[in-house]
Amino acid sequence: MRIYSLLKSFASRSGGLVALCLCILSAMPALAASPLGAPEAAPAGEPSAAVLELLERDERPAGVVFEIIENDRAALAALLPEIRANIARLREDDPDFPVAIVAHGAEQFTLTRGEAGQHPGLHAEVEALVRDEDVSVAVCGTFADWRGIEADAFADFVEVADLAPDRLDDYRALGFEIIRLRPSLLDAPEQDPWQFDFGTP
């Protein structure tokens, strides 16, 4: 209210609408510095309960794989803040602690090249995990094949495993712990066009 009163008084003395507009612009430089449509910072997440429990153990696994398998194309994007928080906590004591992500539900299809235009933020964040955080990200080639999608349809930063359950078994054999992440039910759409009508990949 104080700013509004000052502006109103100034406008009255100057007798010009132009002066009022100039004053408003000079008093609010943040508008010029932050144009509409500027990308917002990624939301912060909280680490998973399973990760916090793991950190309390005397002995830790050789690494952690976050498994995502949802009948919801938005699942991966919804879980990214939690994934980033998990990685940060796991690497507080060991910056090189191995982390991987295996997505083999409907969410994996948001990582195809054709989806990059619709989900540029998702692609940028996942690519950053691979490039900057040394996180392996894999999808299921068998499930993709059921949908008529070739392996080379996925973005370059994504690894296409022949069969996701086999890849998870490979990680288990190496001493990794598999932690399945699930988004909040509030994030799930009422209807999902990618139904698991061919079984579970």
Q: Which band of pLDDT confidence, cut at 50, 70 and 90, is reported for residue 29?
A: very low
pTM: 0.73
Is residue 31 over pLDDT 70? Answer: no
Q: Is the pLDDT of residue 163 over 60?
A: yes
* Per-residue pLDDT at 88: 97
Average pLDDT in the 155-164 region? 98
Query: Distance between CA 79 and CA 56 in Å, rounded?
Result: 23
Pick the range with the lowest mean pLDDT from 44-48, 49-53, 90-94, 190-194: 190-194
